[in-house]
A and B are shown apart, each in its own frame.
Chain A
Amino acid sequence: MSRTASTVRPFTLGGVALAGAAGVIATWLVTYVGYFVVSMLNPSNILPNLGPTAAIGLVLGVALAQMGPALQKQKGLAVGIGLVAGVVWLGLTMAFGVALPLTFLVTTLAMFAIAGLSIRSVFLGVDVAHLRKDYVEAVVFRLVRGILLCAVTLVVALPFFFMLSLSFKTRAEYLGDPTNLSVNLIQPIPELFSGFIEVLVRFNFGVYIFNSTAIALLTVVITVTTGILGAYAVTRLRFPGRRFLSKAILLIYMFPAIVLVIPLYSVFTQLGLRDTRHGLLIVYSAMTIPVALYMLRSYFQTLPADLEEAGLIDGCSRAQVIWRITIPLSGPAIASVGLYVFMIAWNEFLFAFMFLDTPAIFTLSRGMMVLDDMEVPRQLLMAGATIITIPIMVLFFRFQRYLVGGLTAGSVKG
């Protein structure tokens, strides 16, 4: 028993059917996704041939599923079997007279190795010789999981990849084959970045970057400062109406911008604040202060009050206590708030669009509207989109931990 269990399982009709079906699906999925990705990076559209792929997938599935636990443990074996299947597949495809570029040869082998690994993990712990309901369920579940993982990732990532890739392509290059998202990296830098250079120089995006950065940073300063003061008062000081205030903060956070835009537009026009950077700064601060108060308040509540009381007894003033004790202890929360506020101010569209008329004070969001013109090549629109997205992308991936904190706290616990 133990010898057979550790090597090859006995063949049963049900087991082979399940393994074959799973093998076909997994192999087809992996090779299809692989080819799809590679053909986006390559100036040709080749998709795997269904016939040979299915046949080899079937064999691959059965071969990997019939292995006992000991063989299943070895990942290398699965990769090896996958590679062999890949070579056979290439032989079959070539025999049909299809000429494949080198990139596709390499891709095919890599994809089959991945297919081998995937099928192995689909059948991990499943004894195909004695099929039970939960084994079948596990196999189906894992396959569905894999399919969904590929699908969701593709749907999420594709628009961003599209944006990035198209910002490097001229109109002619794009119209030549709109489905080809590859970028020809082997060209002189000024040509490769021509879209970006044009957007930065001719469309003044350099100025807009400065405006966006300045407004976003100042918003962070104003919001964080007022937020710290306010949140400290709400958590540490006793005053009438304290409980009411906590609810009010939450309520105000829910007020939508579209309800504010008409009165603000009217009043700011009459006060001469509308087409100015500080007008925008005031609006952004007001939009973010409730969130900042809410987030900082939640964090201050977790800080022990003892330390601050000790400081007060030692003769520090409230200002000193906040500066020397509360703020240093709240580093992560302040970072969360700051990043979140920066992101909101940087991304804001509605008010920038409604308020700003003078190109010299445009933010990036507002400046993008200039590029949305049939006369302007779409490449420049995508270059603009990339320019406005990159800083957020860098901040996000660099400080993901803090931003995630901001995102969750920025939305009230349920």
Chain B
Amino acid sequence: MKGKRYASVTAREARLALWMLLPAFLIVFAVIVFPVVANFWISGKSVSLGDLRPATPSLREFVAQAPSEAGDELVLEYRLRNSSRGVPIQDVVLEATVPEGLSPAPNDAPAAPDAQHCSIEAGRIECRWDEWEGGFSDTITFTFIADQAFFDAQVDMRSPTEADISGRSINVLTTFDFTLDNFRFVVSARRFWEVLRTTFAYPFLGAIGSILLGLTAAMLLNRKFPGQTLLRGLYLFPYVAPIIAVAFTWVFLLEPFRGTLNTYLMSIGVLESPISFLSTRSIQIGDLPFPLALSIVIFFDAWRYFPFSFLFILARLQAIPSDLYESVEVDGGGMVRQFISITLPQLHSVITTLFLLRFMWTFNKFDDVFLLTGGAAGTRTLPIQVYDNAFGRGDIGAGAATAVVLFLFLAVFLILYFRYVVKED
């Protein structure tokens, strides 16, 4: 009796939990989990941007020759087209009504109806096709003889037969034919390996940059002084400001034609002529080529995301007990010794975590590079490639395949992250 009651309480609780989690679960499932799976699915399909709209048969009715008195011919045209260039339409049916007073011309008339598909019976036109392939277009012509009844009925000459057309097209996304062509395309792309190199260099150096800057800022503000709170707020701001605002500001600041930075550097004699910072692949420094645009993008990343490292490192710094420092001071160790033997070891774990997180997040960051350079001048990364394939070239399948490659890399990082960073709560 007691046991049963307990069991029912547990079951009720589990049921309640299910209901409470359901909204969150549904939204997240529909918009995050399902698309990730769907992405794998689409990557095996040959789909272009235009195919997303379902293929529909289209029909235009057109009176090519109007009768002027009883006994004249009326020539009617149906212009037919498949709206999609690639997707076929099955079981197309055209139905129309022949208005009062029109009778089919004898079959020996110059433009006989397409007997293979169409028939006229009891005042009704009916045409059937098994399939229209992608890009199908055709014109069929009927010739009628009009008598007086036709003129009396005052037929609308824009669409005298009120034709209607219907068909059934497959949804390209739900078929079961798969291909590996997309992956072949992605891997054999002319610059795939270069893109891959950039895809790794950008988050790697960006993460290091943002951590170094964050560490510096945290060391600077790890002490009370007037204006410290204000500076802390200011230092966090690049991270919370809208990406589109800061990216455009940087683009403008770095502009080659009378841009502020170029003009300033020229006025103090560092530059002789303006540089297009974001569209110069590399410049020579001494004998070495220096990847300029990529470096600027990396610097932007460090600038925008250092607050994140700053916040965590500052919190960690403030948690270091001061007697640790005192013990080094007693041993006669200066600031450098204190930093190396106390601060750095204490920060070790937070810096590792920060590196992994920042690396992962920058690895699949799209907005920043897209808005700064659009992927030009040696800054093309996989996320940009995803966008370019899917929406620039209009090849949804190839875009999805690129995203799958990206996701597989990410999966490796996630495994590392969950193994080494997220332990039991």
* Chain A residues engaging chain B, CB cutoff 8 angstroms: 45, 133-134, 137-138, 141, 145, 148-149, 152-153, 155-157, 159-160, 162-163, 166, 174-175, 177-179, 181, 222, 225-227, 229-230, 232-234, 237-240, 242, 245-247, 250-252, 254-267, 269-270, 282-283, 285-287, 289-290, 293, 318, 343, 346-347, 349-350, 354, 364-365, 368-369, 372, 378, 381-382, 384-386, 388-389, 392-393, 396-397, 400, 403-404, 407-408, 411-412, 414
Contacts and interface: CB of A to CB of B under 8 A. Distances in A.
21 contacts: A138-B334, A149-B220, A155-B303, A233-B21, A238-B10, A242-B17, A250-B418, A250-B422, A258-B364, A263-B400, A270-B171, A270-B173, A286-B32, A289-B24, A289-B28, A318-B16, A349-B367, A368-B244, A388-B244, A389-B245, A411-B312
Given A251-B418, A262-B403, A382-B249, A414 B349 contact: yes
Nearest to A177: B263
Contacts of B353: 414
B28 A263 contact: no
B44 to A, nearest CB: 13
B23 interface: yes
B31 A137 contact: no
Contacts of A230: 20-21, 23-25
B216 A179 contact: no
A282 B27 contact: yes
Nearest to B333: A134
Contact of B383 (A152, A254, A258, A412): A258
B396 interface: yes
B350 interface: yes
A414 B421 contact: yes
Which of A229, A286, A346 has the most chain B CB atoms inside 10 A of its CB? Answer: A286
A392 B233 CA distance: 13
Which of A403, A404, A414 has the most chain B CB atoms inside 10 A of its CB? Answer: A414
Interface string B235-269: 11111111111101110110000111011100100
Nearest to A389: B245
Interface of B: 10, 13-14, 16-18, 20-21, 23-25, 27-28, 30-36, 38-39, 41-42, 47, 52-54, 171, 173, 213, 216-217, 220, 231, 233-246, 248-250, 252-253, 258-260, 262-264, 267, 303, 307-308, 311-312, 315, 332, 334-336, 349-350, 352-354, 357, 360-361, 364-367, 371, 383, 386-387, 390-391, 396, 399-400, 403, 406-407, 410, 414, 417-418, 421-422, 425
Contacts of A285: 27, 31
Contacts of B213: 152
A137 B335 contact: yes
Contacts of A346: 242
A397 B307 CA distance: 15
Contacts of A141: 335
Contacts of A381: 248, 252
Nearest to B329: A134
A293 B23 CA distance: 12
B258 A178 contact: yes
Given A141-B335, A349-B243, A266 B52 contact: yes
A354 B27 contact: no
A132 to B, nearest CB: 10
Given A257-B366, A282-B27, A138 B335 contact: yes
B366 A350 contact: yes
Nearest to A354: B391
A350 B24 contact: no
Nearest to B54: A270
Contacts of A349: 242-244, 367, 371
Nearest to B400: A262
B20 A255 contact: no
Contacts of A382: 248-249, 252
A10 B264 CA distance: 45
B239 A407 contact: yes
A365 B371 CA distance: 12
A237 B243 contact: no
Given A263-B42, A343-B240, A372-B248, A293 B36 contact: no
Contacts of B53: 269-270
B220 A254 contact: no
A289 B28 CA distance: 7
Contact of A156 (B25, B237, B249, B410): B237
Given A155-B303, A226-B27, A404 B364 contact: no
Nearest to B352: A414
A393 B303 contact: no
B258 A175 contact: yes
Contacts of B350: 414
Given A239-B18, A286-B27, A414-B350, A396 B253 contact: no
A407 B308 contact: yes
B260 A178 contact: yes
Contacts of B10: 238
Contacts of B13: 237-239
Contacts of B334: 133-134, 137-138
B366 A258 contact: yes
Given A232-B20, A269-B53, A407-B239, A145 B259 contact: no
B357 A411 contact: yes
Contacts of B391: 354
Given A233-B16, A286-B28, A408-B312, A259 B390 contact: no
A252 B312 CA distance: 22
Contacts of A237: 13-14, 16-17, 20
Nearest to A346: B242
Nearest to A344: B240
B39 A263 contact: yes
A234 B21 contact: yes
Contacts of A397: 233
A229 B14 contact: no
The 5 closest A-B pairs by CB, nearest first: A414-B353, A286-B31, A256-B364, A385-B245, A263-B38
Contact of A238 (B14, B41, B349): B14
Contacts of B233: 396-397, 400
Contacts of B361: 256
